[in-house]
A and B are shown apart, each in its own frame.
Chain A
Amino acid sequence: MTTLLTLLSCFLGTLFGIACAWCRVYGSRRPRLAIGCFVEFFRNTPFIIQIFFIYFGLPSIGLKFSSFPAAIIALTINLGAYACEIIRAGIEATPRGQLEAAQSLGLDSRQIFTRVVLPPAMSRIWPGLTSQLIIIMLATAVCSLISTEELSYIANRVSAETFRQFESYIIVTTLYLLLSICFRRFLNWLGPRFIFGCSPIGTAR
């Protein structure tokens, strides 16, 4: 369940982050400002408050989620805000000459973004993004507070049933440690192969 939460929200969050970054770099002034406010707001409030707001707060204005979608939404938005800043840095570091070269080859702006700008940008910021994704995986633990049934929720339940809190928490903590190490390995393996092509920057494709 923790893995599912993590993978789903990482995937959605990264897409969301890319969309936001695109808006912030290429959008007109008003969406840029809106995205900027959104990003700053979510980067400067604790995740636990965001998730409480979505799960407990929104139902009172008529948006009701069960705990799993609420957790996914909160994680996605939170990651999206952080990923937006990281990806934007990558996009802005694109050399001007590459854009001009792509334009002179007659690519339209969508092609330029997906083929020319994004892949090297992703490879540039992959280490930073990896750390952020790990942080999101650890943040899934907070979802237990709105009774999403993931690893730490199980830990709470086991400790409540057996009254052996320390043992159950230390086992779950070890599991998290292993998970985060595996997840980091997985991302390091995944990145170069599927996200931004086989070759590191600077070598010819």
Chain B
Amino acid sequence: MIQFTLWDIVRNLLISIPWTLLLSAIAFLGGGAVGILLLALRLARPRAFSLPIAAYVQIFQGTPLLMQLFLVYFGLALGGIETTPMTAASICVVLYASAYLTETWRGCVESIPKGQWEASASLALTFTEQLRYVIFPQAVRLSVPPTIGLLVQIIKNTSLASVVGFVELTRSGQMIANVTFQPFLVYGLVALFYFALCFPCSLFGAWMERRLRVQH
């Protein structure tokens, strides 16, 4: 049997961190783009899109990410599309992130006083201009802390992508634990790595929250 030193374990875990980061980045950027689109559609008049989007959010917030991953992974295969774990996991986390982000941002937009909409409408701004120049600049400031909270959530949830065979931090932790028979050490280290990724984000979010509160 090959002996693993502590450094071997750490090194192998470190190799897989970029994949966790990559998947998180895809989820956050992709989810953000889709989320903004959905938000704009939802705010647009007539409110025809509002109900389907509410249903979309409810579906993604009301089912476990684990099930969504399995569905996307096997569903795409059923549709005859060749998938790698990477594509399936990316598609799934993007959809998942977009549902949460669009809901959070909607909350921020709705907390903008109605008078702002009316004032900008009376200045003859079109709907896009209203969003672009009046509503979004104010909503963005409100949305920073919760969005960072969601980013932490997304980083943690990419760990579930390990179940469809995407090799990121959790998956490589599992494999190393199976080879070395030291699950206590390996999972402890993996937990520490995740903590090292997420905690700075959490701190930053808390800091932003404090800063924004002072300005009000």
Give me the interface of A with B, judged by CB distance under 8 Å: 40-41, 43-50, 52-53, 56-61, 134, 138-142, 144-145, 152, 155, 159, 165-166, 169-170, 172-173, 176-177, 180-181
Closest to A144 in B: B66
| Chain A residues near B173 (CB-CB < 8 A) | 49, 52
B75 proximal to A (CB < 8 A): yes
Q: Quick one: which of A49, A52, A56, A141 contacts B67, CB cutoff 8 A?
A: A141
The reply to whether A52 and B78 contact each other, CB–CB distance below 8 Å, is no
Contacts of A44 in B (CB 8 A): 152, 156, 194-195, 198-199, 202
Contact of B195 among A45, A140, A159, A166 (CB under 8 A): A45
Given the known inter-chain contacts A166-B71, A169-B71, A176-B62, please indicate yes or no for A57 contacting B202, CB distance below 8 A: no
A-B residue pair count with CB separations less than 8 angstroms: 118
Give chain B interface residues in 171-189, CB to chain A under 8 Å. Answer: 173-174, 177, 182-188
The stretch from B2-10, B114-122, B158-166 touching chain A is: B158-166
Q: Are B187 and A155 in contact (CB under 8 A)?
A: no
**What are 5 A-B residue pairs whose CB atoms fall within 8 Å in the complex?**
A41-B195, A134-B61, A138-B64, A144-B66, A152-B66
Asked whether A155 and B163 contact (CB < 8 A) given A46-B194, A57-B183, the answer is: no
Q: Are A45 and B78 in contact (CB under 8 A)?
A: no
CB distance from B110 to the nearest CB of A (A): 15
Contacts A45-B156, A45-B195, A49-B187; is A56 near B63 (CB within 8 Å)? no
Asked if B174 contacts A52 (CB within 8 A), the reply is yes
14 additional A-B pairs beyond A49-B190, A152-B67, A176-B63, beta carbons within 8 Å, are A41-B195, A45-B191, A49-B173, A52-B173, A52-B177, A53-B187, A57-B188, A58-B184, A60-B183, A60-B184, A138-B62, A144-B66, A169-B71, A173-B67
Partner of B191, one of A50, A166, A169, A176: A50
User: Which residues of chain A come closer than 8 Å to B163, judged between CB atoms?
Assistant: 145
When C-beta atoms are compared, the residue in chain B nearest to A58 turns out to be B184
- The reply on B16 being an interface residue by CB < 8 A is no
Residues of B in contact with A, size category: 35 or more
Q: Which of B67, B188, B191, B194 has the most CB of A within 10 A?
A: B67
B83 smallest CB distance to A (angstroms)? 13
Q: Which residues in B have some Cβ–Cβ distance to A below 8 Å?
A: 58-59, 61-68, 70-71, 74-75, 78, 152, 156-157, 159-160, 162-163, 170, 173-174, 177, 182-188, 190-191, 194-195, 198-199, 202
Is A53 in contact with B188, judged by CB distance below 8 angstroms?
yes
Given that A49-B173, A165-B74 are contacting pairs, would A139 and B64 also be in contact in the complex, using a CB cutoff of 8 Å? Answer: yes
Least Cβ–Cβ distance between B213 and chain A, in angstroms? 13
Contact A173-B202, Cβ < 8 Å, known A46-B170, A53-B188: no
Q: In the complex, which of the residues A46, A139, A170 has the most CB atoms of chain B within 10 Å of its own CB atom?
A: A46
List A contacts of B186 (CB < 8 A): 57
Please tell me if the beta carbons of A138 and B65 are within 8 angstroms of each other in the complex. yes
Residue of B nearest to A140 (CB): B64
| CB proximity of A1 to chain B, nearest CB, Å | 14
Given the complex of chains A and B, what is the CA–CA distance between A44 and B191 in angstroms? 9
What's the least CB distance linking B57 to chain A, in Å?
12
The answer on a CB contact under 8 Å between B183 and A155 is: no
- Bound-complex Cα distance A8 to B202 (A): 29
A142 in contact with B63 (CB, 8 Å):
no
- Is the beta-carbon distance between B67 and A169 smaller than 8 angstroms? yes
Q: Which residue of B lies closest to A48 (CB)?
A: B159
Q: Are A180 and B71 in contact (CB-based, < 8 A)? A: no
Residues of B within 8 A of A152 (CB): 64, 66-67
Contact indicator A47/B191 (Cβ below 8 Å): no
A144 to B156 alpha-carbon distance, docked (Å): 18
- Known contacts A141-B66, A166-B78; is-contact A57 B195 (Cβ 8 Å): no
Residue from B64, B162, B187, B191 whose CB has the most chain A CB atoms within 10 Å: B64
Q: Which residues of B lie under 8 Å from residue A59 when comparing CB positions?
A: 183
Residues in B with CB closer than 8 Å to A46 are 156-157, 159-160, 170, 194
